[in-house]
Structure 1
Amino acid sequence: MPKPNKHVFVCTQNRPEGHPRGSCASSGCAEVMNEFMNEIQNRNLFEQIALTNTGCMGPCMLGPSVLIYPDGVMYGRVSKADVKTIIDEHLLGNKPVTALQVPAEVW
């Protein structure tokens, strides 16, 4: 497998309901992860984009969280509808989606 250009990490942390930190699972991370998988498959981007689910990345209150490397860009409150924008603009176009980025004090 060739080295991908970008690596996408999607937080799939699942904590019990009522946990003070919350979790990305309760914010819809499964839909986001599935949409990334579907888009990568439908566009045949396997060699360009790696996709990994992760545990907690920190800003639980801003979940679902998505982290892009090697760029070191973190997105928060990502929805299924945002995935195509992230792929088109950032992963393929190399221009981070400013409106979805978490605040600088978070990441």
Structure 2
Amino acid sequence: MAKFKHHLFICVNERDESAPRPSCGHSGGKKLKSAFKDAVRDAGLKGQVRANELGCLDQCEHGPVVVVYPDAVWYGFVHVKDVEEIVSEHLVYGRPVERLRLADTCLNTESCPHKPMPKHK
């Protein structure tokens, strides 16, 4: 079997609703995997693109989060209505969808516009 051209990693992590941070699963992440699988198939990319669900990507304030590898493009606030555009633009034509792309300054940082301000002690 040939290797995949792209892997989609879709966060479906679910925290308790009382947790201080949100979770992608409660923000619609669970619906994204099936939507991506359908869109990949409809675009004729089955066997070239693999859609995988996984647990926390530690970008909870940006959820639902989807990462496209090997391109290392992180998408945030993804909804089912965005799936077709990501598949068509990014996976078919190689153009990341900039309006959904998370800024590098928001990845693995303690502060960004989407995260609450840290409490000082």
Same fold by TM-score greater than 0.5 = yes
- Residue aligning to 1:14: 14
Percent sequence identity over matched residues?
36
> Partners of 1:50 and 1:105 in 2: how far apart?
27
Q: What does the per-residue CA deviation read over 1:50-86, in whole Å, with 9 as the maximum and x for residues that have no partner?
A: 1111111111011000000000000000000100000
Q: TM-score, normalised by structure 2?
A: 0.83
Aligned-partner SS, 1:67: strand
5+ residue gaps, structure 2 = 108-121
> Partners of 2:43 and 2:86 in 1: how far apart?
14
> Partners of 1:41 and 1:60 in 2: how far apart?
28
Aligned-partner SS, 2:78: coil
Aligned-partner SS, 2:83: helix
- Residue aligning to 1:91: 91
> Partners of 1:63 and 1:92 in 2: how far apart?
24
Aligned residue identity for 1:17: E
Aligned residue identity for 1:106: C
* C-alpha RMSD of matched pairs (Å): 1.1
Report 1 or 2 for greater relative contact order, CA contacts < 8 Å, sequence distance ≥ 6.
1
Checking the alignment, whether the CA contact within 8 Å between 2:43 and 2:88 is kept in structure 1 is no
Matches within 5 A, 1:50-61: 50-61=50-61
- Residue aligning to 1:69: 69
